[in-house]
Amino acid sequence: MPRKLGIPPHILQQALQLVALHFRYTVVHTNTIAAKLHNLRCKFRWSNVHPQHTIENKIAKAHSTLMISSTCPGPPSMSRSVTLAKPKNKGKSYTTFLKPIVSAEWLRQIRLKYPHAPLPPSGNVSSRLHA
């Protein structure tokens, strides 16, 4: 169960959204014009004529921020729960799959910055004061 640390920082939230966008372009909405352009631009991302500030480069950086292997222009790795989800629920299921990854990355960053700080609560309640 992920630790309760509140809302992750903007950089991690943006990384989650960009990785989810890559998933939608490569798995869910593959026949849209935007997805076709994304796949085409991913193929030429490593060329010298491709600008560095494009969405494809931001998506690749988001994958590295969350430590997820990027298979651009192909679909990203996903859990079994995402592959078994109904087609119209796959996008939301993938975003739900990414949330513990974002929490783990945030906890890692906190532990690097504050190595002697106590661990945050795990979210497991040992006893209830009120019914």
The pLDDT value recorded for residue 115 is: 83
Q: What is the domain partition of the chain in residue ranges?
A: 10-113
Four-point Cα dihedral 91, 95, 97, 102, nearest 10: 160
Per-residue pLDDT of the chain (131 residues; tens, 9 = 90+): 455 667 788 899 999 999 999 888 888 888 899 888 888 887 777 666 667 788 888 888 888 888 887 766 667 777 788 888 888 888 888 888 888 889 889 888 888 888 887 766 665 555 555 55
The pLDDT value recorded for residue 130 is: 52
Residue 72, judged by CB atoms within 10 A of its CB (0-12, 13-18, 19+), counts as buried
The pLDDT value recorded for residue 1 is: 41
The pLDDT value recorded for residue 15 is: 92
